A and B are shown apart, each in its own frame.
Chain A
Amino acid sequence: MEIPPLLIQFGGSIIAILAIYLLARAMGLGTTPKLTDEAAVQHAANEVKDGFSPVRIAIARGGAAALARDVDGQIMVIKRHGNQFVGRVLTRSAKVCEVVDAIEIDPRETQFGTVRLSIVDPGYWADAINRL
């Protein structure tokens, strides 16, 4: 059976793409950033929404995620995504549940996923999110 040249070209391209991906991993490209302090969370929050100015912050153990609340009561969840941070200002549709030593927040947005945060005062944040 003869394989169409275009199919061979397509297959070859996929192999080349996977090779570049594996090479990027092998080279150690992309770091693992952490939210180490309130300034880092403020910076990330302002990148998610320009002008968002947190008055209360909770950083998850390990620094992979955080919660920030502004003076208007808006709550933002921030999570690590690759070697960047992304976030969402939570709406009423957001779901939160307390687990053993953390809370899990689902902003109810396609493909954003659930964010698990092991934080000092999970009850405060769970209540605040439920009151949105």
Chain B
Amino acid sequence: MPDFSPTQYAVPFFVIAVLIEMVWSRLRAPDAYEPMDTLVSLCLGLGSTAAGALFGGFALYVFIAAYEYRLFDFGAEWWSVWWAWPLCFVLDDLKYYWVHRAGHRIRWMWAAHVNHHSSQHYNLSTALRQTWTGSFTFGILFALPLILLGFHPAMIAIAGGFNLIYQFWIHTEAIDRMPRWFEAVMNTPSHHRVHHATNPRYLDRNYAGVFIIWDKMFGTFEAERTDEPIRYGIIKQLGSFNLIWSVFHEWIGMVGDIVQSPWRHKLSYLLREPGWSHDGSRETSDTIRARWIARRSSTNPVADRNPIAADHEAA
């Protein structure tokens, strides 16, 4: 059985790429980096690795147990079945799409994922802002179908590692657009900038990991527009560089809401979308987008109906 962790080998590359992007930022876009933000992002990355080592054991136990019930058997030397590797990579990326979508649409999952989005910057250090608390969600359930199909947990872990490495380079403003054929199939810096945006038009869009085709298939794709500058972060920006707060703020908020809400709403604060409240006093991405669309059509009704009219209003 191969004992191989691709992300470990990629770390030196990550560091060198961040340094190169910092030089680019110095020359072309000094605002692309903020030293304190970078410090927090890198600490989140390191802490995520430590948290994975500490709490990842449970997921491994579940996966190995589930593997005993697999439908198909690739044999004792499963790693030598060459075609299983690309198939596993593609299916794992499909799994990533759904777990990522759940990470944005279910508050319990969002509590763990939010720290990847809480930077107001978008650079390669943002890619390393990984969760410390992913083991405390039900995200592992999304991998079970792959294991039950017969893919070994180690094969899935390696495919997931390469998926994570791919996603590193797309966290940059230094690259505008890739060739059209590439943009059509693959996730790119342009597509992923949209994902990190808080503009109403872009909220909860482009969940893809490697292949953008999943968003196109499942109706969540939005192309980046040249006439609409992106603002990054989360709806309620943290306003703090406190590392511990950035890790746990959504968990604290969610638990507080569950404790304080009436019994019949408690589960909704766990499982409904971020921003949902039982009294309607808060905003979800859907309500923000709906208000923006309503405002847009009331202020610019002709342009909205006219396909040749340009729309330059920033969302």
Residues on A lying within 8 angstroms of B by beta carbon are 6, 10, 13-14, 16-18, 20-21, 23-25, 27-31, 33, 47-48, 50-51, 79, 81-84, 86-88, 109-113
B contact residues, total (Cβ < 8 Å): 44
A24 CB → nearest B CB, Å: 4
When the two chains form their complex, are residues B39 and A17 in contact, meaning their CB atoms are under 8 A apart? yes
When the two chains form their complex, are residues B35 and A10 in contact, meaning their CB atoms are under 8 A apart? no
**B19-34 CB contacts (< 8 Å) to partner A:** 19, 22-23, 25-26, 30-34
B297 CB → nearest A CB, Å: 13
A24 touches which one: B15, B38, B288 (CB < 8 A)? B38
When the two chains form their complex, are residues A113 and B200 in contact, meaning their CB atoms are under 8 A apart? no
B238 contacts across to A, CB distance below 8 A: 86, 111
When the two chains form their complex, are residues A21 and B239 in contact, meaning their CB atoms are under 8 A apart? no
A31 touches which one: B31, B38, B42, B240 (CB < 8 A)? B31
Residue on A with the closest CB to B23? A27
**B134-157 CB contacts (< 8 Å) to partner A:** none
When the two chains form their complex, are residues A112 and B240 in contact, meaning their CB atoms are under 8 A apart? yes
When the two chains form their complex, are residues A29 and B292 in contact, meaning their CB atoms are under 8 A apart? no
When the two chains form their complex, are residues B288 and A50 in contact, meaning their CB atoms are under 8 A apart? yes
B43 contacts across to A, CB distance below 8 A: 17
B46 touches which one: A13, A33, A83, A110 (CB < 8 A)? A13
Q: Is the interface of B mostly helix, strand, loop or mixed?
A: helix
Report how far A31 CA is from B107 CA in the complex, Å: 34
B197 CB → nearest A CB, Å: 11
**B22-61 CB contacts (< 8 Å) to partner A:** 22-23, 25-26, 30-39, 42-43, 46, 50, 53
When the two chains form their complex, are residues A84 and B34 in contact, meaning their CB atoms are under 8 A apart? yes
A13 contacts across to B, CB distance below 8 A: 46
A88 contacts across to B, CB distance below 8 A: 239
Report how far A102 CA is from B173 CA in the complex, Å: 39
A24 contacts across to B, CB distance below 8 A: 22, 33, 35, 38
Report how far A48 CA is from B252 CA in the complex, Å: 22
Residue on A with the closest CB to B36? A82
Report how far A113 CA is from B120 CA in the complex, Å: 18
Residue-wise interface mask of B (199-227) relative to A, using a CB-CB cutoff of 8 A (1 in contact, 0 not):
11000000000000000000000000000
Q: Is B278's beta carbon under 8 Å from chain A?
A: no
A50 touches which one: B22, B121, B200 (CB < 8 A)? B200
